[in-house]
Amino acid sequence: MESAALEAPRNKSKDPPGFTWAALASTLAWIAALWLIVLALHLTPALFAALVTYGGTRALARLLERWRPGLRYAQAWGLALLLLMIGIVGSVLVGYAVDTAETGGYAGLLHEMAHALERLRQDLPSWLAAHLPTSLEALHRVAVVWLHDHAAQLQLWGGDALRGVGYVLIGATTGGLMALQLPVNPTGMLPQSPTAAMRREFDGLVRSFTAVVFAQLRIAILNTALTALYLLGVLPLLGMPLPLPGTLLTLTFTAGLLPVVGNLISNTVIMIVSLRYSALGAALSLAWLVAIHKLEYFLNAHIIGHRIRARTWELLIAMLALQAMFGLGGLIGAPVLYAQIKQALHERGWLD
């Protein structure tokens, strides 16, 4: 009896089934090797493009197989359907952008920003107002001068942007080829072989990325809804309705698909347009939008953390740490990286 009583606590202290420190180190090593290469070489756009293409193709292929069991070349049909969907969405967005430009949406937004700066000149002291453009033409001249003074830096940014587009195309091509060539249910692999380990980690990465993408979509929708409440509800009640609310909300949603940094883009435009009425209106807009921006940090961590079984503070620490080490790429990749680690440990029974 005594030995049984002593054995029970001893069993409770045992590690989870299959757990060894060597197995844990091996699991984390695969993940760390991938992300160190991606973040150090700034390949996050290529990785995300590959995951979108691969995951989208596999998801559409599964839907087609449910609709028509035994469908041949389901992966090829899934890839073709994904490309068709991307083409349709891209055409709609381009058409909307062209229509907005032709109807004065973007030009009107520039005019509103110029009027806002003019109103700000009237409210500020003369010594400070002298540094602001006096008209839309002056604003254009300031922009031209700034472009001339920063030509070398802009050339560098242009090269980085072009390189990023190339990475996206290469990543999308790679993801499509992997979806076509990798077996859906791999068989014949030794469970402990490096090939099997790489396939397990890649499948886990795809699942983690999918969870984070859908969570970010929810965050963008929520962010747009809160901004719409402000633009269409709060400001009209205060007698300060902003012009072009549709354009501003479209910008808010599109930019909101970028984690955290997207809000900075839309918030800056909305705050400048708010200067049309007064510095008080701009201050109110700044306070509201900063509150939304700070809330997004916690919503991002909470919503994504819920999908990957991570607490809010865990994900915040991961985001801050990777941002400090790798900049914007680290900030964007942090939720996916942490989701991959948590999911790998959970699937092995090493986490509850």
CA distance 213 to 307: 11
Give residue 21's identity as a one-letter amino acid code.
W
At a CB cut-off of 8 Å and minimum separation 6, what does 78 contact? 56, 57, 58, 59, 60, 61, 62, 63, 64, 179
Which of these, 117, 105, 94, lies nearest to 272 by C-alpha position? 117
Which of these, 320, 270, 267, 266, lies nearest to 297 by C-alpha position? 320
Predicted structure pTM score: 0.69
pLDDT in tens, the chain (352 residues): 444 444 444 444 456 666 677 777 877 888 888 899 999 998 988 999 999 999 999 989 999 999 988 888 889 999 999 999 988 888 887 776 666 555 555 555 556 666 666 666 666 666 665 656 555 566 666 665 665 565 666 566 666 778 888 889 999 999 999 989 888 776 656 566 677 777 777 888 888 888 888 877 887 888 888 888 888 888 888 877 777 787 788 888 887 776 656 777 777 777 777 766 666 767 777 787 778 767 766 776 676 666 666 776 777 788 889 888 988 788 888 888 888 888 888 777 777 6
Take residue 252 and report the two structure tokens written for it: 């808010």
